[in-house]
Amino acid sequence: MDFATLLQMLDATLRLATPLLLACLAGLYSERAGIFDIGLEGKMLAAAFLSAAIAAVTGNVWLGLLAGIGASMVLSVVHGLASITFRGNQLISGVAINFLAAGLTVVIAQSWFAQGGRTPQLTGDARFNPIELPFADALQNVPVIGPIYYELISGHTILVYVALLMVPLTWWILFRTRFGLRLRAVGENPAAVDTAGVSVIWLRFAAVGICGVLCGIAGAYLATALQAGFVKDMSAGRGFIALAALIFAKWRPWYALYACLLFGFLQAMSLRPDVIERVLSFQVNGQFLDVLPYILTVVILAGFVGKAIPPRAGGEPYVKER
Amino acid sequence: MDIMPKWADVILIPLISILLAAILSALVILAIGENPWAALKLMVDGALGSTYGWGYTLYYATNFIFTGLAVSIAFHARLFNIGGEGQALIGGLGVAIICLFIPWPHWTLALLGAAIGAAIFGAAWAAIPAFLQAKRGSHIVITTIMFNFIAAAVLNYFLIGALKAPGMEPATPKFPEATHLPSFQDMFNFGDTTFFRGAPANITFFVALAACVALWALIWKTRLGYEIRSFGYSESAAKYAGISPTKIIMVAMLISGALAGMMAINNVQGEAERLVLNAVEGAGFIGIAVALMGRSHPFGVLLAALLFGFLYQGGAELALWTSIPRELIIVIQALVILFTGALDNMVRMPLERLFLSLRRAKT
């Protein structure tokens, strides 16, 4: 494989890893606070639809992004009500949210745009466009570093850089702030947090809220940056791959980045069967690459390659002692 | 002493939950500019107004009975099997292999063989997550989700490879004539009047009813069922009583996978008579809604499956005659799961308070 192809593949990896990373970090906040969230997929899908719809109508992608975050937040509130306020089963609530988004997006899209469950194609300012980093053009001809800077680092949409910056930010929030300490504590031992006089319910709602915002950005990225408009079921299992990445990363931010880049690379490879064939000199089944993240996650979960231990109070509603 | 009488728990709460789901669904229909009352009438007409409609309703209900029972038995052991979809897909693979490669003399034997094959394949697909849960403590919800995706890929692999029929479509060849199951049209044909003409309901419906009875007997009339229920009620107490958690997790999940797999004799052998991609069409997930609504009781599952069969056929009619897309059914399904499953306490807490104050007023 020549250098240019490698750069193209890595470029695609970064673009495909971005929604995974945002959703994975979203899940990280929620699950670190003790709220399991298998509804990442649904929140992304809802955000993808509403962001594309509003961007198409107003022609302004930033309004679209806000609307997407709003849609995701509404579902987050439902999840919070069900799993925190009414102490319901968090997994069942997640399943319901996934279906709610899968159904509602198509029903509403059909009613608003009558294009078979799609939104109109987004163009110009209704999309996030690639931004050129400074000196990218000037450095283009410098050997090695030039192409890397021009092809790989520069020329992405702003959301890609936002997602990458979220990794150190999440690490800093979780491990260097008081809020982060409490958030992690509430996922391990909520009773202790309660005893210290901090509201478990408020903390968990805050975590679920942050999760909603990040899923909203992830969904908006899908519909307004990666692609130009919403199509039915466009999240295509990415919420579950993000969940897999979260387990793969053992609920830690930096590892989440590596896991998402790995899974993004697998997705980029399955899009380019010709490259794989040239490099490995035999055909690799594209299906196999698509499910490799799931298989790897099962292996990790099985504990054969280091043990993945979830936050201890995860999935348990907190009942104050009376 | 229970706070609420049993009838309130078993009938009143599900009814209120469904009512809430129905009201919200009606609001959705209103919001997209259609008339909910007219939509309901159209659905009732289309799903229950003719034997043709009933034939479709019962066909869908058969699928949902199997997947609903599958989720229920796992619920009794406090396991959440989201993998019904994948198990039913792999069950279909079993049915296809058995129907294609064994020369069956008669459909009765083929039905028996296919049912066993579907059950074994489905159970095998559930066995790995079950084993990982029992022995390695891997969360069964996550592993079964992952196995759904893996199952879809496995099926795809076979349908574009070893089992593919000549032609463009990724599907197996048509099964031989001798494996075709009698449809309701064949069974209820009285000379000049033919009922269920052209509808896909077939003899598998009665297999599903038998499965309901069998599962009821298993859960409430056998030692194994008692062990499964006590394990689900309190794992530590069950352990203390000498019940092996590994055994219960494995057995409950194997039965669950077998039931989900057996759905394939309805949709693969009974209806399509060949295996196609995405043969399950989400029935595995509807099993979750059906089990929640039916309170994990086989009789409740039967009623809930009939309701969802009606919704499915009615939804198809809606999509045909109005501008309401089929996906409305997914919304209704989501609302049912939300209200009967996740928001159960929202209905339960005020009701409990009401019954408590009623009792106080009496004494």
- Alpha carbon A225 to its chain centroid, in Å, reads 14
How large a percentage of chain B has pLDDT more than 90? Answer: 48
Confidence bin at A97 (pLDDT 50/70/90): very high
Chain B closest CA to A125's CA: distance in Å?
A: 28
A286-301 and B140-159 helices, crossing angle to 10°: 160
Give me the residue from A89, A107, A290 closest to B28, CB to CB: A107
Residues of chain A with C-beta less than 8 angstroms from the C-beta of B325: 106-107, 110, 117
Q: Is A303 on the interface with B (CB under 8 A)?
A: yes
What are the backbone dihedrals phi and psi of residue B277, each rounded to the nearest 5 degrees, phi first? -65, 150
DSSP state at residue A307: -
Every domain of chain A and the residues it spans = 16-129+139-236
Q: What is the mean pLDDT of chain A?
A: 88
Q: A33-67 burial string, b = 16+ CB within 10 Å, else e?
A: bbbbbbbbbbbbbbbbbbbbbbbbbeeebeebbbb
Could you identify the residue written with the tokens 């930033």? A62
Is the pLDDT at B225 greater than 50? The verdict is yes
pLDDT per residue as tens digits for the range B144-180: 988 999 999 999 888 888 888 887 888 888 888 888 8
Q: Is B112 on the interface with A (CB under 8 A)?
A: no
Residues of chain A with C-beta less than 8 angstroms from the C-beta of B27: none
Give the highest mean pLDDT range of A30-34, A86-90, A268-272, A305-309. A30-34
Residues of chain A with C-beta less than 8 angstroms from the C-beta of B327: 102-104, 106-107, 110, 117
Q: Is A104 on the interface with B (CB under 8 A)?
A: yes
Is the pLDDT at B57 greater than 80? The verdict is yes
What type of residue is B71?
Answer: V
CA distance A243 to B16: 34
Which pLDDT score is estimated for A236? 85
Residues of chain B with C-beta less than 8 angstroms from the C-beta of A91: 80, 82, 141
With CB atoms and an 8 Å threshold, state whether A99 touches B142: no
With CB atoms and an 8 Å threshold, state whether A103 touches B334: yes
Angle (CA) B249-A79-A15 rounded to 5° is 90
What type of residue is B169?
Answer: E
Q: Is B362 on the interface with A (CB under 8 A)?
A: no
Count contacts between A and B (CB, < 8 Å).
146
Is the pLDDT at A322 greater than 60? The verdict is no
Is-contact A223 A234, C-beta < 8 A?
yes
Residues of chain B with C-beta less than 8 angstroms from the C-beta of A106: 325, 327, 330
CA distance B188 to A278: 60
- How many of the other CB atoms lie within 10 Å of CB of A172? 12
DSSP A172-193: HHHHHSHHHHHHHHHHH-HHHH
CA distance B340 to B9: 12
ipTM metric: 0.90
Is the pLDDT at B198 greater than 80? The verdict is no
Which pLDDT score is estimated for B60? 94
How large a percentage of chain A has pLDDT more than 70? Answer: 96
Q: Is B159 on the interface with A (CB under 8 A)?
A: no
Give me the residue from A86, A100, A243 closest to B346, CB to CB: A86
Residue in chain B nearest A314 by alpha carbon = B139
Please give the domain boundaries of chain B with CATH numbers for all domains: 53-305 (1.10.3470)
With CB atoms and an 8 Å threshold, state whether A285 touches B145: no
Q: Report which of residues A27 and B351 the model is more confident about.
A: A27
Q: Is B82 on the interface with A (CB under 8 A)?
A: yes
Could you identify the residue written with the tokens 């574009």? B160
Residue in chain A nearest B329 by alpha carbon = A103
Is-contact B146 A294, C-beta < 8 A?
yes
Which pLDDT score is estimated for A82? 93
Element (DSSP H or E) covering residue B255: helix B245-264
Q: Would the CA dihedral through B135, B139, B141, B146 be positive or negative?
A: negative
Alpha helix stretches (DSSP H) within chain A: 3-32, 40-58, 61-80, 90-113, 136-139, 145-147, 158-176, 178-188, 190-195, 200-221, 238-248, 253-271, 273-280, 286-301
Give me the residue from A91, A99, A290 closest to B330, CB to CB: A99
Which pLDDT score is estimated for A306? 63
- How many of the other CB atoms lie within 10 Å of CB of A294? 24
3 state DSSP class of B278: coil
Q: Going by C-beta distance under 8 Å and a sequence separation of 6 or more, which residues neighbour residue A276?
A: A269, A283, A284
CA distance B350 to A101: 28
Residues of chain B with C-beta less than 8 angstroms from the C-beta of A107: 28, 32, 324-325, 327-328, 331
Give me the residue from A107, A243, A247 closest to B328, CB to CB: A107
With CB atoms and an 8 Å threshold, state whether B327 touches A92: no
CA distance A36 to B160: 37
Q: Would the CA dihedral through B232, B5, A315, A25 be positive or negative?
A: positive
DSSP state at residue B343: T
Which pLDDT score is estimated for B338? 92
Is-contact B225 B29, C-beta < 8 A?
no
- How many of the other CB atoms lie within 10 Å of CB of A132? 12
Chain A closest CA to B353's CA: distance in Å?
A: 15
Q: Would the CA dihedral through B352, B353, B354, B356 be positive or negative?
A: positive
Instruction: Please name which of B64, B61, B86, B84 lies closest in space to residue B74, comparing C-alpha atoms.
Output: B84
Q: Going by C-beta distance under 8 Å and a sequence separation of 6 or more, which residues neighbour residue A256?
A: A21, A24, A25, A28, A167, A245, A246, A249
Residue in chain A nearest B133 by alpha carbon = A302
Q: Is B328 on the interface with A (CB under 8 A)?
A: yes
Chain B closest CA to A149's CA: distance in Å?
A: 36
Give me the residue from B143, B327, B342 closest to A301, CB to CB: B143
pLDDT per residue as tens digits for the range B83-131: 999 999 999 999 999 999 988 888 889 999 999 999 999 999 999 999 9
Give the highest mean pLDDT range of A187-201, A287-301, B316-330. A187-201
Is the pLDDT at A261 greater than 80? The verdict is yes
Q: What is the mean pLDDT of chain B?
A: 89
- How many of the other CB atoms lie within 10 Å of CB of B309? 25
Q: Going by C-beta distance under 8 Å and a sequence separation of 6 or more, which residues neighbour residue A314?
A: A31, A34, A35, A36, A187
A273-280 and A253-271 helices, crossing angle to 10°: 90
Q: Going by C-beta distance under 8 Å and a sequence separation of 6 or more, which residues neighbour residue A161?
A: none
What type of residue is B25?
Answer: S
Is the pLDDT at B349 greater than 90? The verdict is no
Confidence bin at A1 (pLDDT 50/70/90): low
Give me the residue from A82, A95, A107 closest to B32, CB to CB: A107
Q: Going by C-beta distance under 8 Å and a sequence separation of 6 or more, which residues neighbour residue A10?
A: A152, A265, A268
B107-131 and B245-264 helices, crossing angle to 10°: 140
Which pLDDT score is estimated for B1? 47
Pairing of strands B193-194, B189-190: antiparallel
Residues pairing with B193 in the sheet? B190
What are the backbone dihedrals phi and psi of residue B171, each rounded to the nearest 5 degrees, phi first? -155, 160
CA distance B204 to B77: 27
Which of B331, B335, B339, B351 is the best substitution to test chain A (most A C-beta atoms within 10 A)? B331
Which pLDDT score is estimated for A307? 67
Put simply, the chain B residues between 263 and 292 with a CB less than 8 A from any chain A CB are 285, 288, 292
Can you read off the two tokens belonging to residue B324? 């309401």
pLDDT per residue as tens digits for the range A70-83: 999 999 999 999 99
Chain A closest CA to B190's CA: distance in Å?
A: 42
Q: Is B166 on the interface with A (CB under 8 A)?
A: no
Q: Would the CA dihedral through A281, A287, A293, A296 be positive or negative?
A: negative
Residues of chain A with C-beta less than 8 angstroms from the C-beta of B31: 111
Q: Is A81 on the interface with B (CB under 8 A)?
A: yes
CA distance B211 to A230: 42
Give me the residue from B147, B150, B328 closest to A103, CB to CB: B328
B166: left (phi over 0), alpha (psi -120 to 50) or beta: beta
Which pLDDT score is estimated for B87? 96
CA distance A191 to A212: 25
